[in-house]
Amino acid sequence: MPPSDPHDDAQQVMAANKAAVSRALNLVEDRRPEAQTGVTKLLAELKDAPKAAGGHRVGLTGPPGVGKSTLTSALARSVRQRGRTVGVVAIDPSSIRSGGSLLGDRARMSFDPSDEGLFVRSLATAGVVGGLAYAANSAVRVLAAAYDMVVIETTGVGQSEIDIVHVADTVVLVIQPGSGDVLQFLKAGIMEIPDILVVNKADHDELAQRAVSDLRGALQTAHAVGAGSGQDVNWETPILATSATQGTGIDELIDTLDEHRQHLEATLAGRRRQGEVQWTLDLFSRKHGEHGVSTLGGLAQLKARAERDLDGGQTPLSLCERLSREYVTALGKTP
């Protein structure tokens, strides 16, 4: 392929040209060292995209089999009906043995192929044990520059939850009636309390009612033991019941998402910045380990440094590159 101009590419991404968005996503997935400069440039170009600042990044997570793909599909359709555009990143685990993956989320989604305002990309976790996919952070930046809402759908209860907090403005935890494990995790404070809780597959009123009240109880216990994000005391986690197959509760979910986005208005920039700081630290420590972190002055100092430099116009990727260079230089000086 001929070399492309990052500025033009970024313009086309911001215009939500599907071919350009797809190319940009291919680029951020590219792990070859020679691709990194391109990724860094592209993300720098997209950093101040008009869509990105006003948009909404929604993380949808929960155990396997609770109907997240179908819910994502129903959510995307309804958001489209409200005239907003949607980009979806669906993340599935890679096989540990083969490195391959089965990305099956599209199979549960029905959408109009001629709709220019909806874009779905599946990503595999590719060796990032328990976490988001390698390119997920960057992919969200690309889609956020092109679409009004970005939905990050990921399976799992564990590490990926913690990661998703750093990339999403609003974290939605999806469970189904009778999810005892999740209740226990919440109660024990093993799991972060999400911004919104959804009981999906609530086709049977009675079961759904019971699930909702079980959750309410679990949240109370969790608060009592002092679990939870602790960052946002002004937001009481709403509990919703949906049936993605029957399409019930979806409008309410969108309204609640909008409410949370509104609620975040004043703090959103700070929240996203915290996510970027965390992303920078993750990138750096994955690359250089504890030794890297301590060589550059320890975690607290690195964190403060990241906050300052990101404010100064760096992106997590460019900052990480700079930190890497400093580390290598420092290594050269060590006897």
Partner 1 sequence: MAEYGKRERDRPWIMRTYSGHSTAAASNELYRTNLAKGQTGLSVAFDLPTQTGYDADDPLARGEVGKVGVPVSHIGDMRALFDGLPLDQMNTSMTINATAVWLLSLYVAAAQDQGVDPSVLRGTTQNDIIKEYLSRGTHIFPPAASMRLTTDLITYTVSEVPKWNPINICSYHLQEAGATPTQELAYALVTAIGVLDAVKATGRVPESDFGKVVGRMSFFVNAGIRFVEELCKMRAFVELWDRVTRERYGVTDPKQRRFRYGVQVNSLGLTEQQPENNVIRIVLEMLAVTLSKDARARAIQLPAWNEALGLPRPWDQQWSLRAQQILADESDLLEYADLFKGSEVVEAQTQRLVDSAWAEVQEVLKRGGAVEAVESGYIKQRLVESNAARLRAIENGDRVVVGVNKYVEGAPSPLTENLDEAILTVDPEVDASQRAALARWKEERDNAAVEQALAELQRVAKTDENMMTASIAAAHAGVTTGEWANTLREVWGEYRAPTGVAGATVKTSGSGPAAETIARLRKRLDELEVRMGRRPKLLVGKPGLDGHSNGAEQIAIKARDVGFDVVYEGIRVSPEQIVASALEEGVHLIGLSILSGSHLALVPEVVRRLRDAGLGDVPVVAGGIIPEADAERLRRDGVAAVYTPKDFELDNIMSDLIDLVDRQHAAE
For residue 69, the minimal CB distance to partner 1 (Å) is 9
237 contacts partner 1 (rule: CB under 8 A): no
Give the sign of the dihedral formed by CA 25, CA 26, CA 31, CA 32: negative
Sequential DSSP letters for 143-173: HHHH-SEEEEEEE-SSHHHHHHHHH-SEEEE
Angle between helices 136-146 and 18-29 (to 10 degrees): 160
Residues 64-83 that bind partner 1 (CB under 8 A): 64-65, 70
Q: Which of 131, 167, 135 is nearest to 151 (CA)?
A: 167
207 contacts partner 1 (rule: CB under 8 A): no
Q: Which of 1, 129, 233, 266 binds partner 1 (CB under 8 A)?
A: 1
19 contacts partner 1 (rule: CB under 8 A): yes
For residue 71, the minimal CB distance to partner 1 (Å) is 13
- Would you say 23 or 303 has its CB closer to partner 1? 23
For residue 270, the minimal CB distance to partner 1 (Å) is 32
> Which range, of 28-36, 224-232, 295-303, 317-325, touches partner 1 by CB under 8 A?
28-36
d(CA 116, CA 85) in angstroms, rounded, equals: 8
122 contacts partner 1 (rule: CB under 8 A): yes
Size of residue set near partner 1 by CB under 8 A: 46
Q: Which of 81, 110, 159, 231 binds partner 1 (CB under 8 A)?
A: 110
Beta partners for residue 198, in sequence order:
174, 240
29 contacts partner 1 (rule: CB under 8 A): yes
Tokens of 68: 């997240």
* 56-62: strand order across its sheet: 118-124, 86-92, 149-155, 56-62, 170-175, 196-199, 239-241
Cβ-based burial of 303 (10 A; exposed 0-12, middle 13-18, buried ≥19)? middle
Q: Which of 95, 159, 231, 294 binds partner 1 (CB under 8 A)?
A: 95
109 contacts partner 1 (rule: CB under 8 A): yes
120 contacts partner 1 (rule: CB under 8 A): yes
> Which range, of 19-27, 146-154, 158-166, 192-200, touches partner 1 by CB under 8 A?
19-27
Helix (H) or strand (E) segment spanning residue 29: helix 18-29
37 contacts partner 1 (rule: CB under 8 A): no
Residue 94 gets which letter from DSSP?
A: B
d(CA 96, CA 231) in angstroms, rounded, equals: 35
Residue with tokens 């990194």: 36
d(CA 301, CA 303) in angstroms, rounded, equals: 5
96 contacts partner 1 (rule: CB under 8 A): no
Contacts with partner 1, residue ranges (CB under 8 A): 1, 18-19, 21-23, 25-26, 29-32, 35, 64-65, 70, 92, 94-95, 97-104, 106-111, 113-114, 119-122, 124, 126, 201, 203, 245-247
